[in-house]
């Protein structure tokens, strides 16, 4: 069974950022993790950046590198081959995320979610949903 749940939930913004900023950052992080292949395959920061841009996520390569190195690697088994230039990124071969992020229109089509509820569970407008498998 696939469960779809809204990306937005009532979590207070502690850094002064808005809920929309937090949701956008969360979606960016999950998208990045989904784009990184499992070892032995790999991807460069530039390739990952291009892929994010093609999906409408506009950040600098420096921000992407900082996200990967300082934030995501704390919670996910990211591997970085620093012996090669450019650096190559992979996820540990045994890692299984267990969920994926889809644009809301794809989730509605896949799960026949009624368009009568465009605000998701928490009352915040949701542009993306998490698909938990």
CB 95 within 8 A of CB 41: no
Domain-embedded: residue 14: no
Number of domains in the chain: 1
pLDDT of 1 above 70: no
CB 45 within 8 A of CB 86: yes
Domain-embedded: residue 66: yes
Domain-embedded: residue 104: yes
CATH number of the domain at 55, please: 1.10.10
Domain-embedded: residue 48: yes
pLDDT of 101 above 70: no
Least confident of 11-15, 41-45, 99-103: 11-15
- For residue 127, what are the domain limits? 3-8+19-132
Helix/strand/coil (H/E/C) assignment for every residue in the chain: CCEEEECCCCCCCCCCCCHHHHHHHHHHHHHHHHHCCECCCCEEHHHHHHHHHHCCCCCCHHHHHHHHHHHHHHHCCEEEECCCCCCEEEECCCCCCCEEEEEHHHHHHHHCCCCCCCCCCCCCCCCEEEEEC
Q: What is the mean pLDDT of residues 88-98?
A: 90
Greatest Cα pair distance, the chain, in angstroms, is 52
Domain-embedded: residue 61: yes
Instruction: Tally Cβ neighbours within 10 Å of residue 96.
Output: 9
The structure's pTM equals 0.65
CB 62 within 8 A of CB 85: no
Domain-embedded: residue 44: yes
Instruction: Tally Cβ neighbours within 10 Å of residue 23.
Output: 20
């Amino acid at each position: 069974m696939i469960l779809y749940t809204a990306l937005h939930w009532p979590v207070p913004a502690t850094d002064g950022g808005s809920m929309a900023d937090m949701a956008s950052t969360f979606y960016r992080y999950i998208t990045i993790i989904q784009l990184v292949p499992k070892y032995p395959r790999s991807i460069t920061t530039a390739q990952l950046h291009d892929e994010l841009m093609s999906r409408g996520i506009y950040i600098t390569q420096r921000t992407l590198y900082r996200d990967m190195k300082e934030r995501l690697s704390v919670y996910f088994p990211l591997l970085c081959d620093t012996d090669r230039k450019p650096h190559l990124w992979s996820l540990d071969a045994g890692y299984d995320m267990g969920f994926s992020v889809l644009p809301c229109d794809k989730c509605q089509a896949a799960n026949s979610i009624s368009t009568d509820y465009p605000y998701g569970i928490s009352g915040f407008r949701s542009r993306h949903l998490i698909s938990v498998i």
